[in-house]
Amino acid sequence: MNLKKPPARTLDLKRTEVKLTASVNSNDKVKTALFKFTCCAGCQFALLYFFHQLPETLELLDFVYFKMAMRKELEEPYELAFVEGGVSTPEHIEQLKAIRSQAKVLVAFGACAAHGGIPSIKNWQTERAVEENVYPDPLLVSSIKVSPIDEFVKVDYHLRGCPIDEVEFMELIRSVAADKSPYIRGHPVCVECKLRNNICILLMREGVQEGMCLGPVTRAGCRAVCTSNMRACFGCRGPMSNSNIPEMVRTFMGKGFSAKDIEMRFTEYAGLSAEFSEGARAYYGRKTPYYHRKAA
Amino acid sequence: MAEKRRITTGKPLEKQVKVDYLARTEGEAGIYALVLDSEVKELKFNIWEPARFFEGFLIGRMYYEVHDLVSRICGICPVSHMTTALRALEKATGVTVSEQTKILRRILARSQIVASHIVHLYMLAAPDYMGYDSIIPVTQEHPKIFKRFLRMKTAVNNLTTVIGGRALHTMTAIFGGFTYIPSRKNLLKAADSLKEIKNDALETVRFISSLPIPEFHSKNVYTSLKGKDIYPVNEGRLCTTSGLDISEDEYRSHFTERQLSYTNSKYSSLDGKGSFMVGALARINQNFDLLSNDAKTISNEVGFKVPNYNPYLNNLAQAIEIVDGIEDCIGLVGGLHPKEEKSVYTIKGGEAGAITEAPRGLLYHYYRVSKNGVIEKADIVTPTAHNAFNIEKDLNLLLPKISHLDNETITMRCEELIRAYDPCFSCSVH
Question: What residues of B are in contact with residue A117 (Cβ under 8 Å)?
Answer: 72
Distance from CA of B243 to the nearest CA of A (A): 30
Number of domains in chain B: 1
Nearest-CA distance A286 → chain B (Å): 14
Q: Is the pLDDT of residue B127 over 50?
A: yes
Task: Check: CB of residue A130 under 8 Å from CB of residue A122.
Answer: yes
Question: What is the residue extent of each domain of chain A?
Answer: 30-177, 189-284
Read off the CATH number of the domain in which B228 is found: 1.10.645.10
* Band of pLDDT at residue A147, cut at 50, 70 and 90: very high
Give me the percent of chain A exceeding a pLDDT of 90: 65
Question: A206 CA to chain B: closest CA distance, Å?
Answer: 11
B59 has a chain A CB within 8 A of its CB: yes
User: What is the nearest CA distance from B23 to chain A, expressed in angstroms?
Assistant: 5
Percent of chain B scored above 70 by pLDDT?
Answer: 97
**Mean pLDDT in residue range B101-122:** 95
For residue range A92-103, list pLDDT tens digits in order. 999 999 999 999
- φ, ψ dihedrals at B136, nearest 5°: -60, -45
Which residues 173-212 on chain B approach chain A with CB closer than 8 angstroms? 174-175, 179-180, 186
pLDDT of residue A259: 87
pLDDT at A14 (0 to 100): 44
Q: Evaluate whether residue B8 is within a structural domain.
A: no
Scan residues 238-277 of B and list those with Cβ closer than 8 Å to A: 258-261, 264, 266
| β-sheet with A61-66: strand ranges across | A61-66, A30-36, A80-84, A105-109, A157-159
pLDDT score, position A10: 44
**Cβ–Cβ under 8 Å, residues B160 and B79:** yes
Q: Is residue B48 part of a domain?
A: no
Pairing of strands A105-109, A157-159: parallel
Average pLDDT value for residue range B236-264:
93
Q: Is B26 on the interface with A (CB under 8 A)?
A: yes
Residue B357 has pLDDT above 80, yes or no: yes
pTM of the predicted model as reported, rounded to 2 decimal places:
0.92
Residue B367 lies in a domain: yes
Cα A64 from Cα A62, distance rounded (Å): 6
- For the cut 60, the answer to whether the pLDDT of residue A289 exceeds it is no
Verify whether the Cβ–Cβ distance A2 to B161 is below 8 Å: no
- Residue B248 in domain: yes
Pick from A114-128, B8-22, B39-53, B378-392: least confident: B8-22
B15 falls in which pLDDT band (50, 70, 90)? confident
Helix, strand, coil tally for chain A in percent (to 5)? 40, 10, 50
Q: Print the domain residue range for B394.
A: 54-428
What whole-number percentage of chain A has pLDDT above 70? 86
Q: What is the pLDDT of residue A280?
A: 85
CATH class of the domain defined by A30-177:
alpha beta
Asked if B24 and A68 come within 8 Å (Cβ–Cβ), the reply is: yes
Checking if the pLDDT of A11 tops 50, the result is no
**Those residues with Cβ within 8 angstroms of residue B43's Cβ, 6 or more apart along the chain or in another chain:** B31, B32, B33, B34, B392, B395, B396, B399
Task: Decide if pLDDT at A228 tops 60.
Answer: yes
Residue A296 has pLDDT above 50, yes or no: no
In this predicted structure, what is the pLDDT of residue B292? 95
Give the residue-averaged pLDDT of A32-48. 93
Q: What is the pLDDT of residue B11?
A: 67
B266 → chain A, closest CA residue: A135
Which pLDDT value is given to residue A25? 55
Average pLDDT across chain B, whole number: 92
> Chain B residues with CB inside 8 Å of A54's CB?
150
Question: What is the rounded distance in angstroms from the CA atom of residue B274 to the CA atom of residue B221?
Answer: 9
The distance of A294 to chain B (nearest Cα, Å) reads 22
Tell me whether B60 touches chain A (CB under 8 Å): yes
